[in-house]
Amino acid sequence: MADLIDGESIAARLRARVKCEATELAARGTPPGLAVVLVGEDPASQVYVRSKLRRTVEAGMTSFEHRLPTSASQDDLLQLIARLNADDRVDGILVQLPLPGHIDSDLVLDAIDPLKDVDGFHPVNVGRLSAGTGGLIPCTPLGCMMLLDTVIDDFRGLKAVVIGKSNIVGKPVAMLLLERECTVTVTHIATRNLPEIVRGADILVVAAGHAGLVRGDWVKPGAVVIDVGINRIVDGEKRRIVGDVAFDEMDHAGSVTPVPGGVGPMTIACLLENTVRAARRRRAEPMVAGDEAVHAGSA
């Protein structure tokens, strides 16, 4: 039977640690502040933003909520970001994606001060990640690495396969695995012989958005499987969320993350972690011990 990597409890521990750090920073001046910007009425985005704001406050930080109507112009949004960049109470800025079609997301993300870019999407942070020279790391890939750290001591030389090459999950997670000196293969929709490639993996990270894509006979005995996928399916009368991995077929894996309860809870916890990290850096406070291991390659 594969070990379950319990993202809920690992995320709860991370949130508790972040709260301690936020409290310390508050005692020395002001609490870390996270500004969340939502444009429009997308229901899923509203749910995400609500839970991000709630977790921010629970972690002892200040949250700044900025809601703009769908009709807001690109200039309105750029002006808001300029104000948040200049606001000393704000350590992190998150613009909830997707943005309405008339707004150029790249332009908006590029306008965020890289030191406050807690999503890690700014080209400066993307570049730093690929150069292994520090910066803020996107939350979901950071969460994947923290989960892997709970079951793997030494990454060097392990074969890692990543399914999916998106900028928010696949590519950054591949960079982080490479930084740990894994031998990394990044696969995608056009990859040939995917099952055969996956069979060579000691570590498998799946971020395809395809329910049940990875079958049991693709996975080598003992492999560590991180399932990033979130797929809403209808199962008879019920609606439920499943991952990209056929979870019931993973008995022979070494460890596996469930969906829900695996990577998902880590994403918001890592957003809080990035906010504290951004606050420390902006205030020239030293990073805490243990933090550097998590952010290996991101001094």
* Residue closer to ligand NAD (CB basis): 121 or 155: 121
CB of 56 to ligand NAD, least distance (A): 16
Kindly name the residue from 91, 113, 117, 119 that is annotated as catalytic. Answer: 119
* Residue closer to ligand NAD (CB basis): 93 or 198: 198
Q: Residue 2, Cα to own-chain centre: how many angstroms? A: 24
Binding mask 133-162 for ligand NAD (x = CB under 6 A): -------x----------------------
Phi, psi of 214 (to 5 degrees): -90, 115
The conformation of residue 240, written as its DSSP 8-state character, comes to E
297 binds ligand NAD, rule: CB under 6 A: no
Residue count of the chain? 299
State which residue has the least CB distance to ligand NAD.
166
**List 120, 135, 141, 229, residue binding ligand NAD (CB under 6 A):** 229
52 is catalytic: yes
Q: How many angstroms separate the Cα of 154 from the Cα of each of 148, 202, 216, 251, 256?
A: 10, 12, 25, 23, 18
96 is catalytic: yes
Distance of alpha carbon 32 from alpha carbon 234, whole angstroms: 41
- Of 298, 280, 7, 277, nearest to 140 by C-alpha is 7
Give me the amino acid identity at 63.
Answer: S
Hey, which residues between 12 and 51 contact ligand NAD (CB under 6 A)? none
106 is catalytic: no
* Residue closer to ligand NAD (CB basis): 37 or 207: 207
Retrieve residue 184's tokens. Answer: 């990394």
Distance of alpha carbon 182 from alpha carbon 203, whole angstroms: 9
What residues line the site for ligand NAD (CB under 6 A)?
140, 163-166, 168-170, 187-189, 191, 194, 207-210, 213, 228-231, 263-264, 267
